[in-house]
Structures are given as C-alpha cells and as structure tokens.
Amino acid sequence: MTQPSCTGPRIGLGFDLHRLEEARPCRLGGITLDHPAGHSDGDAVLHAVTDALLGAAGLDDIGTLFPDTDAANKDQDSAVFIQAAIDAIQKEGYRIGNVDIVIATEGPRIAPSRPAMRERLAELLGIPTNAVNVKGKTLEGMGALAKGAGVAVQAICLLMPKR
Ligand code: MG
C-alpha cells in the first residue's frame, strides 16, 4: 500500500566543501570576497542551499542535476543551480519559508560580509532578508580547513506548501 504524500512543511539540509585556491575570486553567498577560492564559481553557500532546497522537496541533489563531469557545469554561475532548485520545488507545490546557513572557515572573515550575503541570498531566493541567516564559524585550529585550505557550509531550509 502506498503511503499518503507529505503535505505539510518540509525541512532540508545541504552541505558543501570547497577548497580555496589561489588566483580565483572567492564567491560565497552570492557575493565576491577579497580572498582566493575553488570549484565552478566556488560558491559553496549556493551549492549547499541548492541541496537543502532539493532535499526538502524529496528531489535529486545538485550533483545529479548538474554533474561536474559535464563541461557545461564547469565555472557555471551558481545562481543557475539555485534557480533550477526553486523552479523544481515550486513545481512540487512548495515555497521557501526560511534558510539558515553556517560557514565554517579560517579563510575569509564572514562577519563583515553577512549583511551583503543575506541581502543577495534573499534576492536570489525571492524571500525577505529576515528569512535568510548566515553565520561564520572558525575551526578552533583543528584540521586542514583550520589552515585556511577551504570552506565548509551547512544550509538548512524550511519549505511551506504554497497555499
Ligand atoms: Mg560545490
């Protein structure tokens, strides 16, 4: 017997890890930071948020929709991934309630860029600025990330039924 489908709010979690590389601009949370960075346009925040949205709607993940083996996805603007996820969740009958993000890094300092990130993310997601939050965390001197090698991002989102 098939189970009835979930019709209430749905929660989704996304995670991404990017290496910081010299000679590339550091894109995080839809803005450019004055710090070097990595893969595609390097925006681990937008990748994690994309996965959180897709996960909440019970859809595929970013790697399945946009495989990094496809040359078209190399250096792709991460806003394209976000828009694809928004289109997909809307098709499932959901809208975004809120998104919360943790960026763990000892590379760029996050605090000074929080307001700009929240504003840009809200714009990309089509939700109010107070429905997006961003927090920076340091690694307390532990592991390779603590040497400034990369950024790890967790994003969680709540989807609400559209009506
Ligand atoms: Mg990524």
Range of the domain at 77: 10-161
Q: Is residue 154 part of a domain?
A: yes
Q: Tell me how far the alpha carbon of residue 44 lies from the centroid of ligand 1, in angstroms.
A: 5
- Percent of the chain whose predicted confidence (pLDDT) is above 70: 90
Q: Is residue 144 part of a domain?
A: yes
Q: What is the pTM of this model?
A: 0.89
Rounded Cα distance between 128 and 10, Å, is 19
Rounded Cα distance between 85 and 65, Å, is 9
Whether the CB-CB separation of 49 and 14 falls below 8 Å is answered with yes
Q: Tell me how far the alpha carbon of residue 62 lies from the centroid of ligand 1, in angstroms.
A: 8
Q: Is residue 3 part of a domain?
A: no
pLDDT in tens, 64-85: 988 888 888 877 888 999 999 9
Q: Tell me how far the alpha carbon of residue 46 lies from the centroid of ligand 1, in angstroms.
A: 8
pLDDT attached to residue 22: 65
Q: Tell me how far the alpha carbon of residue 82 lies from the centroid of ligand 1, in angstroms.
A: 12
Q: Is residue 71 part of a domain?
A: yes
Q: Tell me how far the alpha carbon of residue 18 lies from the centroid of ligand 1, in angstroms.
A: 6
Instruction: State the chain's mean pLDDT as an integer.
Output: 88
Domain count, the chain: 1
Q: Tell me how far the alpha carbon of residue 19 lies from the centroid of ligand 1, in angstroms.
A: 10
Rounded Cα distance between 143 and 149, Å, is 9
Helix 78-91 with 114-125: angle, nearest 10 deg: 50
Q: Is residue 126 part of a domain?
A: yes
Q: Is residue 1 part of a domain?
A: no
pLDDT attached to residue 1: 61
Q: Is residue 150 part of a domain?
A: yes
Q: Is residue 4 part of a domain?
A: no
Q: Tell me how far the alpha carbon of residue 21 lies from the centroid of ligand 1, in angstroms.
A: 14
Q: What is the CATH number of the domain that holds 32?
A: 3.30.1330.50
Whether the CB-CB separation of 159 and 95 falls below 8 Å is answered with yes
